[in-house]
Structure 1
Amino acid sequence: MFSTDPGDTCDVDIDTSRDAPTVRPVRSALTTPPPGTANLAFSHRSFPLVAGGDAVKIPFSFVNLAGTCTRHPARFTFCTPYHCDIPTEDRPPDLTALYENTSDPTIPSVHQLEIPPGPTGRPHTVEIPFRIAAGAPVGPTKVQGIIVPTGTDTQGDRSTAHRKFGLMSV
Structure 2
Amino acid sequence: MAKYLKLHYPDLSPTEIKEFKQLFRSLEIFIDNKTKKALSFEDSYFFHAGMFHNNEKPPDVVPLSGSVYFLGNTAYLTGVSGGWRFKVVGTDLFLYIGFSNPFLGRYKTFVSLTKNGTLPAKWPYKELKDGSMKTDKCEEYIAEVTFTHPHYSSFYRILCKIYYNKMNV
TM above 0.5:
no
Bin for the TM-score computed over the shorter chain: 0.3 to 0.5
Normalised TM-score (structure 1): 0.36
Higher relative strand content:
2
Normalised TM-score (structure 2): 0.36
The structure that has the greater radius of gyration is 1
